[in-house]
Amino acid sequence: MRPRTPFRNGIDAQELLFGLFLVALSGVAFWQTSRLAAGTAADMGPGFVPRVIAWTILGFGAFFVLRAGILPRRALPAISLRPLVAVLGAVATFALVLPALGLVAASLAAILIGGAAAPGGRLLGTLLFAAVLTALTVLLFVTALSLPVAIWPW
C-alpha cells in the first residue's frame, strides 16, 4: 500500500466536520463534568464514566479529523438555509408562544412560519389552511383528548 500524505488530496469535508463536532462535544463534556469526583474503576464516582466517554469522543474526533486529510476530497452536500430556518423557526415560535398566548396562536404561528419552508403558495390558501388545521388541532387535542393546555391567551 502506498503511503498517502495527509491533506495532499484536499479534505473530506464530511469527515472533518463530524470530527470537529466530536472534539467540541468532548470539550463541553469535560467542562460540565470538571467538578465531579472520578474515583477509581473499582469504586467509581459520578465523574468516572462521563470522563471516559468524553476521552473516547475526543479520540474519535481526532481520528475523523486526521482521516479527513487522508481520504480523497469530498465537499459537503449543498445546504439550503430556507427550509432549515423555517422548520426550526416554527418549532421555536411554538415553544415561545404556547405558554404566553395559548394553543390557537401557537398553532397558527407554527403553521405559517413552517409553511414558509416551501416557496410558492397563495396567501389566502395558506391562511385558510392554517385556520382549518388549527381548528382541527384544538378539537383533537383539547376537546377530545383533554390535553391540559390553554386555548386562548385569556
Partner 1 sequence: MELLGNLAFGLATAMQPSNLMFCFTGALIGTLVGVLPGLGPMTTVALLLPFTFGLTPEAALIMLAGIFYGAQYGGSTTAILVNMPGETSSVVTCLDGYQLARKGRAGPALAMAAIASFFAGTVATLVIALLSGPMAALALKFTAAEYFSLLIVGLIAAVVLAHGSAVKAVAMIVIGVLLGLVGIDVNSGVPRMTFGLPELADGIGFVPVVMGLFGLAEIASNLEKPQDRTLLTQKITGLMPTGRDLRQGFPAMLRGTVLGSLLGVLPGGGAALPPFAAYALEKRVARDPSRFGKGAIEGVAGPEAANNAGAQTSFIPMLTLGIPSNPLMALMIGALMIQGIQPGPQIMTEQPALFWGVVASMWTGNLMLLVINLPLIGLWVSMLKIPYRMLFPAIILFCCIGAYSVNNSVFDIWVMLGSALIGYFFIKVGVEPAPLVLGFVLGPMLEENFRRAMMIADGDLAVFVTRPISAALLAVAVALLVALVSPSLRRKREVAFAE
Residue from the set 38, 98, 131, 151 that interacts with partner 1 by CB under 8 A: 98
Residue from the set 6, 10, 24, 99 that interacts with partner 1 by CB under 8 A: 99
Q: Does 10 bind partner 1 (CB under 8 A)?
A: no
Here's the x/- map for partner 1, 36-65, by CB under 8 A: it reads as x-----xxxxxx-xx--xx-xx--x--xx-
Please tell me whether residue 44 adopts helix, strand or coil conformation: strand
Residue from the set 3, 122, 146, 154 that interacts with partner 1 by CB under 8 A: 146
Q: Round to whole Å and give the CA distance between 77 and 114.
A: 23
Q: Does 24 bind partner 1 (CB under 8 A)?
A: no
Asked if 137 contacts 103 with a C-beta cutoff of 8 angstroms, the reply is yes
Q: Does 70 bind partner 1 (CB under 8 A)?
A: no
7 Rama sector, left if φ>0, alpha if ψ -120 to 50, beta otherwise: left
102 Rama sector, left if φ>0, alpha if ψ -120 to 50, beta otherwise: left
